[in-house]
Amino acid sequence: MTFGQSNTILKKLPKHLQCFIIQQPYNSYTAKDQAVWRYVMQKSIKYLGKKAHHSYLDGLTKTGISPEEIPHMQGMNRILKDIGWAAVSVDGFIPPSTFMEFQAYNILVIAADIRTANHIEYTPAPDIIHEAAGHAPIIANPEYAEYLRRFGEIGSKAISSAKDYELYEAIRHLSIIKENPSIKEKAVVEAENKVADIVANMGTPSEMAQIRNLHWWTVEYGLIGALDNPKIYGAGLLSSIGESEWCMSKQVKKIPYGIAAAQTEFDITKPQPQLFVTPDFAHLSVVLEEFANTMALRRGGLKGIKKLIDSKNLGTVVLSTGIQVSGLFTKVIENETSPIYFQTTGPTALAYQNKELVSHGKTYHAAGFGSPVGKLKGRNLAIEDMSPKDLETYGLYEGKLSTLEFEGGVKVHGEIITGRRNLQGEIILISFKNCSVTHGKTILFKPEWGVYDMAVGANISSVYAGVADPEAYELSFNPPSEKTHKISYSKSDKVLHQYYQKIRDFRKEKSTDTRQLIKIFEDVKEESPNEWLLFLEIYEQILKLETSKSRAVLTYLDKLSRQEKYKKLIKEGLALL
């Protein structure tokens, strides 16, 4: 797919993320969709001008977002590049780790669909109002933008549990059917029950679950400033005209933001009963770093590799020398509280500083990779700390038949072929021929299996999700198989969209033909008597012409507003005028 010619940031996006990008279906947006965008944006700007963080209104201009029309990705990208960001269209929810990885590349992910008028105040599904009008404006604030990028960088390394992806798929399915006007209520209830059941049986929250909570309570539903008078900066609140008002009421508990938010679950289908307030954007980064310090990314060790094994997903183990082993980890041998041997199954790659080591890609290590960890038994120095003289003394040089016994009891016996060093001169990899590797009576490697490559490291310094060099590993993802629902419009719907287009054209052309407006009003009143949004658009235009004809439209709107489901929407729409 060719994309982002106007924004060089997009050209740096790795191939494994590109499969999630879709062409923005701009021509599929109807004139009614444009009216929904316009209504939400006008109302949001009026209300949020006072209630949102001061970056919001400036950010709308800086990111090229107009209340008059749904933004084009190409137009946004031309403007976003000036603040070091870019935007892409995707189909609904994408996996959390993928979403965060896009952020790490300074790329804003924007769901292409737009909510229906039935969900104009709030939608559980991501849509272009939420993404473009919610996320984009605040990234114009440099400190917040850096927090978002850093969050993506750290969050994409968080280790998931096997249940996390199941929950993601259930939530994606629920969001899709909730925006489907033809779906039966029974199907929605079943989908909601499935989400609730998965949530109730998640077990101990994974790193991804916890950092997803932090993302929700800051990026999506964050408040900033004084606890008793905060401002809005979270995209979920900025894009929901219902919740942006609700969140400021006393019914919603306000809590000082801290690392405890990582343990606070959320329900995507309901308004939030509590929200977290950060004193400033700098505090967000402080909490993020505090949480990162608890992750296997920074702690490594036995717990880290066990998390990775339990996740049943690709991951990377980094040893103290900096060598990175990427693959599907399936086994770890431990001695008390320390890992002494790890094993992957299937394609595995070795890297250093995120660059695959030549001749050590997943084709070469197609059957897996295993290596001891730790110091040699009876030696004060770790192998990586040995000088050339030390290595010679201990028989660690090319052509030497050596027996290496590690503190944990793993023995490596074979003839050294060669070694690899890092930039500091430390040995990071030793290759053996005619090699056997054992732990007690357990055989870990046999001579007939070929060359044995041993990663060198006194300890495991880092463990994280994903691979060190995605491009060399040829990492690839499959985009979600269930696509967002595309509404099949009836003949009457299409006629109605034509009326919306006529009003849109009337406004753009600054027409003064009141007879045309009244004719549209009478026709729609006859054919679609509850089309409140179109009547509001008609009233707006006829009111500008200062004609007595406006009273008939206002009277009808007043009549419609007596229906509870339209009362608030019409009242607030009229207030905008």
3-state secondary structure 353-394: CCEECCCCCCCCECCCCEEECCCECCCCCCHHHCCHHHHHHC
- Which residue blocks in 52-161 are alpha helix, DSSP H? 55-62, 73-80, 96-104, 128, 136-138, 142-155
Determine the Cα–Cα distance for residues 340 and 337; give it in Å rounded to an integer. 10
CA 366 to chain centre: 31
pLDDT at 460: 98
Residue 409 contacts residue 495 (beta carbons within 8 Å)? no
Token pair 């996320």 is found at 135
Handedness of CA 68, 72, 75, 79 (dihedral sign): positive
Which helix (H) or strand (E) segment is 204 a member of?
none
At how many degrees (to 10) do helices 532-544 and 514-527 cross?
A: 160
pLDDT at 308: 97
The count of residues in the chain is: 577
Which helix (H) or strand (E) segment is 307 a member of?
helix 301-311
pLDDT at 1: 45
pLDDT at 6: 59
pTM for this entry: 0.89
Residue 152 contacts residue 201 (beta carbons within 8 Å)? no
First to last CA, the chain: 43
**CA distances (Å), origin 173, targets 176, 213, 464:** 5, 20, 28
Q: Mean pLDDT of residues grouped by 10 in the chain (577 residues)?
A: 64 92 94 96 88 91 89 89 92 91 94 90 82 88 96 97 88 85 86 88 91 95 95 90 86 96 85 93 98 98 97 97 98 94 98 97 97 93 89 87 94 95 90 97 97 97 97 91 85 95 94 91 95 96 84 94 94 90
CATH homologous superfamily of 8-289 equals Aromatic amino acid hydroxylase (1.10.800.10)
Q: Residue 260 contacts by C-beta under 8 Å, 6 or more apart in sequence?
A: none
414-442 in b/e form (b: 16+ CB < 10 A) is: bebbebbebeeebbbbbbbeebbbebeee
Give me 210's structure tokens: 């916890």
- So where are the chain's domains? 8-289, 314-473, 491-576
pLDDT at 558: 95
pLDDT at 270: 75
For strand 427-439 and strand 401-405, is the pairing parallel, antiparallel, or unpaired? unpaired
| Phi–psi pair at 107, nearest 5 degrees | -120, 125
Q: By three-state DSSP, how is residue 127 classified?
A: coil
Determine the Cα–Cα distance for residues 263 and 128; give it in Å rounded to an integer. 29
Amino acid at 248: M
Residue 287 contacts residue 280 (beta carbons within 8 Å)? no
In the chain, count H helices and then E strands: 23, 18
Give me 537's structure tokens: 């658009």
Give me 500's structure tokens: 């919306």
**CA distances (Å), origin 431, targets 350, 359, 417, 420:** 13, 12, 5, 9
Determine the Cα–Cα distance for residues 522 and 500; give it in Å rounded to an integer. 14
Token pair 């400021």 is found at 248
Q: How many CB atoms lie within 10 A of CB 66?
A: 13
Q: Residue 508 contacts by C-beta under 8 Å, 6 or more apart in sequence?
A: none
| Phi–psi pair at 439, nearest 5 degrees | -135, 100
CA 535 to chain centre: 38
Determine the Cα–Cα distance for residues 554 and 538; give it in Å rounded to an integer. 10
